[in-house]
Amino acid sequence: MVSTTSLRLSSVVPATMTGDENKVHELTNMDLAMKLHYIRGVYFFKSEAVEGLTIYDLKKPMFELLQLHFTASGRIRRSEMGRPFIKCNDGGVRIVEAHSEETVDEWFAREVEDSSLFDGLAYNQSLGPDLGYSPLVFLQFTWFKCGGMAVGFSWANVLGDAFSASAFMNMWGKIMAGHVSRKLLHVPPPGKPEFPSLSSVPKTPFSLKRVDPVGDYWVTPNNYKMRKHIFHVSAEKLDHLLSNISCPPSNQSAKVSSAFEVLSAIIWKTLSKIKESSEQITRVTICTKNAHKGEFEIRTNDMVWSTVEANFLVAEAEVSDLVELIVNKRAEENGAIEEMTGREEGGINSDFIAYGAKLTFMNLEEAEIYRLELKGQKPVYANYGVSGVGDEGLVLVLPASTNNVGRLLSVVLPENQLAQLKSELQRNWSIA
């Protein structure tokens, strides 16, 4: 376990003042739709990758990092109308130092049975109730007794999506190695929505769930106890699945199914079998990367949100039929999400759950989580997750290694459903 008695907290601020005391970053409607969610990740490094590094060595690059990503160092404020924004007051990010009484190998041996152990390696704190004083980013450094280290982070999703968090961490590593451009990053202005709604009639997006206003404590309300598990899909197993499951020949298009679509279809079908017949999961949410960003542009919440609907019994369907739906029948909802959140003024009238409003599948195959390097060495293992997931659950599909072979499935579900999913995937697909 991580020794909580050894926790030490400090802060890092930008190397120079960001601007005048009134500088603000306006949050987009899509940012505000994500306000109750948090991206968390953990990277494990061998002892040789961190040998000789002190906490000062780890914190020093952050002074420059926060000059580039200055919004990460701000704090949430509200306008006179109550709409949240980020005040760029250089409040800083919070640094957590911890020590474990275990070796990395001992920790992994226990993690196989209890994936919640990851929670102790990425500081778990939501925004609020003192909203104006809550850091948007936490970075935790945990030293193991074998000399290895875990680098964990907690990233408020209101800042940006998982690709934003990954880019932030990769930039930190580049600055430490002296390999980063000094060109300032561009923060796109919150102008008109990138995905405008095509209808003049307000559309209710299926990928959002309305909840009562949460006020200044940004925590997702749940009706069930949610648990997390990491499934490991080996390269051999993945190759077998991809060679045997694809879109039906009669429905082949220019689009080719990937590991993400196949694994999502398997879990969609399996969870539909687990649920009662009256609760068939006929509609799911798909989150994928928006690739249209420049090299020097700070990513925001610009993932593409879509829904997929099946007009047949999912539990009895062929997995290949579900793959075909996911590949070819997505209905994009970004415009409707932005429109609805805008009408609610970011939580004045009501708030929203995005991840887990419907069963949600997020594609992080291209998140480049293994590009973070310390002393020229990549992590031996990296994993991302999301906290604040709604009752219908979330599945993240991530690369399992530096050479992008195999996949990790980071799954958050109600406790009873997760236990059944583990059993079904092991029995029918040899996935554990």
Which tens digit of pLDDT belongs to each residue from 194-225? 555 444 445 779 999 999 999 999 999 999 99
pLDDT at position 298 is 65
Q: Which residues pair with 156 in a beta bridge?
A: 38
pLDDT at position 199 is 46
* pLDDT category of residue 75 using cuts at 50, 70 and 90: very high
**Two structure tokens written together for 122:** 């990425």
> Does residue 188 have a pLDDT over 70?
no
Q: Integer distance in angstroms from the first to the last C-alpha of the chain?
A: 23
pLDDT at position 278 is 56
For residue 402, how many other CB atoms are within 10 A of its CB? 15
Round the average pLDDT of the chain to a whole number and report it.
89
Mean pLDDT lowest among 37-46, 186-195, 263-272, 373-382:
186-195
pLDDT at position 201 is 42
